Homo-oligomer: A and B are copies of this chain.
Amino acid sequence: MDIRQLRYFIAIAEEGQITGAARRLRMAQPPLSQQLKQMEEELGVELIERSGKKIALTQAGVTLYKQALNLVHQMEEAISEVKETGEGVRGTLSVGVSALSSYRLPEQIRQFRERYPLITYKVWKGDTQLLSQWLEQRTVEVAIVRLPHSLAHCTTIPLLEETFVLIVPVSSPLSQKDSIHMREIADHPLIMPSTPGLGIYELLVKEFGRLGVTPHVICECPDLSLIVSMVGAGVAAAIVPRSAWETQGNANISRLEITGTSITSSSAIVWQTERHLSKAARHFIEMFAPIPEQ
């Protein structure tokens, strides 16, 4: 018993005759009679009542008809779901994010969902070491990290570059200003974003060095929302990517533009070069940038 035979039976049941059903199925009548007979033998049940010219469904026939409708429908549903999954319009996307990139993910997912509303997500958050492990084990297919990173065997596509801003508590005298020179920042206690393996901390320290000053770092923290909380609580000021301010900022915090420097940071989307990318992941990446040929 297979789906083809179920389709045959549906046609027979709905046409009320074998000849008509055969016409509808664009096939000859004898093989259809033959298939019907075969089904009856396989099931050990009469499916139609043969009284001369006309046929009528037996009870078993009615049962089979209902079931067949259902099964054929389900089969079609299944096929289209598999196709959609293959095309990446449905499926599960596993994304790893570093702590310093995670705050942008919700917006990225929101945007992606507009185009591919059937995709579901698994989001993992961890430091570079964990991300590397997850990429290796295929726990995640893609990761979003801060550049520069130290992930091996990966293709990296940088996302939008962004400048840094200084966020300060509104209680601070600095909150009266609109901007501040990089060199001047070194005079104030600072909280710095820092995650093992991520280069932002080194990048900033090197830039301070180029300007001949040493920052007064009172706290390193890998979690941006925690940094923002600390600033909001009046602990100190912090240098953070502009988008971090835009998404996490609140009334307790003021933002100062940083002058006298041109350092930027960018997130990047990363995946293992040699391994297979699901269509969903491919689409996700392509939302930001074209994927280079292997």
Residues of chain A from 57 to 73 with CB closer than 8 A to chain B in the complex: 58-60, 62-64, 67-68, 70-71
The answer to whether A67 and B81 touch across the interface, beta carbons within 8 angstroms, is yes
Within 8 Å by CB of A44, from B43, B63, B83, lies: B83
The answer to whether B63 and A85 touch across the interface, beta carbons within 8 angstroms, is yes
Q: How many copies does the complex hold?
A: 2
Within 8 Å by CB of A45, from B64, B75, B82, lies: B82
Whether A142 is near chain B, meaning CB under 8 Å from some CB there, is no
Using known A-B contacts A2-B2, A276-B49, determine if residue A82 contacts B70 with beta carbons closer than 8 Å: no
The answer to whether A46 and B86 touch across the interface, beta carbons within 8 angstroms, is yes
Residues of B within 8 A of A1 (CB): 3, 75, 79
> In the complex, what distance in Å separates the CA atom of A91 from the CA atom of B81?
34
Using known A-B contacts A2-B2, A3-B1, A79-B43, determine if residue A59 contacts B85 with beta carbons closer than 8 Å: yes
Whether A233 is near chain B, meaning CB under 8 Å from some CB there, is no
Whether A4 is near chain B, meaning CB under 8 Å from some CB there, is yes
Whether A92 is near chain B, meaning CB under 8 Å from some CB there, is yes
Closest Cβ of chain B: how far from A211's Cβ, in Å? 49
Using known A-B contacts A58-B276, A92-B59, determine if residue A74 contacts B81 with beta carbons closer than 8 Å: no
- State the majority secondary structure of interface residues on A: helix
The answer to whether B63 and A91 touch across the interface, beta carbons within 8 angstroms, is yes
The answer to whether A63 and B82 touch across the interface, beta carbons within 8 angstroms, is yes
Within 8 Å by CB of A86, from B45, B92, B279, lies: B45
> In the complex, what distance in Å separates the CA atom of A74 from the CA atom of B1?
13
Binary B-proximity of A1-23 (CB < 8 A = 1, otherwise 0):
11110000000000000000000
> In the complex, what distance in Å separates the CA atom of A1 from the CA atom of B43?
22
Residues of B within 8 A of A59 (CB): 85-86, 91-92, 278-280
Using known A-B contacts A2-B2, A3-B2, A4-B2, determine if residue A78 contacts B86 with beta carbons closer than 8 Å: no
Interface centre among A46, A74, A78, by most chain B C-beta atoms within 10 angstroms, is: A78
A residues neighboring B (CB under 8 Å) = 1-4, 43-46, 49, 51, 58-60, 62-64, 67-68, 70-71, 74-75, 77-79, 81-83, 85-87, 90-92, 275-276, 278-280
20 new A-B contacts, CB < 8 A, other than A43-B82, A63-B90, A67-B77, are A2-B4, A3-B3, A43-B79, A43-B86, A44-B86, A46-B86, A46-B276, A49-B276, A51-B276, A58-B86, A58-B278, A59-B85, A59-B279, A60-B85, A63-B81, A63-B85, A63-B91, A67-B78, A67-B82, A68-B78
